[in-house]
Amino acid sequence: MFVGKEIEDALAKHGYTLDNVYWIGSRDGHYVMKPNVFMATFGDQMYDSGYGSPELPMDLVMVMKDNSWFERYEYDGSEGWEYQFAPRVDNVHKGFNKIISDIGYQNMKEVQEENGYI
């Protein structure tokens, strides 16, 4: 897989282009490149995104101009980009009364419903 092709595919999947990327670099912001410089430097490099150890740095992120971002993921030996965005408050939001689940592996709605809190 070419690094540049993988980036373009990940962006397109979520309706973005390289023009929407603010910067690419390490999650802590210590290593940063403008997207056009990153693509010119690394876009044609090929790597194996399939099973095995991740080859790209796991703290590599693409920060978008709208403050969303893409971060690296690894699952069962394969790697790629995962889209992330800051949570927003729903126009019709509710308070909550419980955060500890009696069952486990539940979302907030399920925890609230567990004992009739909703």
pLDDT of residue 28: 95
User: What pLDDT score does 117 carry?
Assistant: 62
The region of weakest confidence among 4-8, 13-17, 52-56 is 52-56
- pLDDT digit string (tens) for 8-28? 999 999 999 999 999 999 999
Q: Please name every residue paired with 84 in a beta bridge, in sequence order, or none if there are none.
A: 69
All residues at 6 or more sequence positions from 9 whose CB lies less than 8 Å from its CB, including other chains: none
Mean pLDDT of 50-73: 93
Rg (CA), the chain: 19
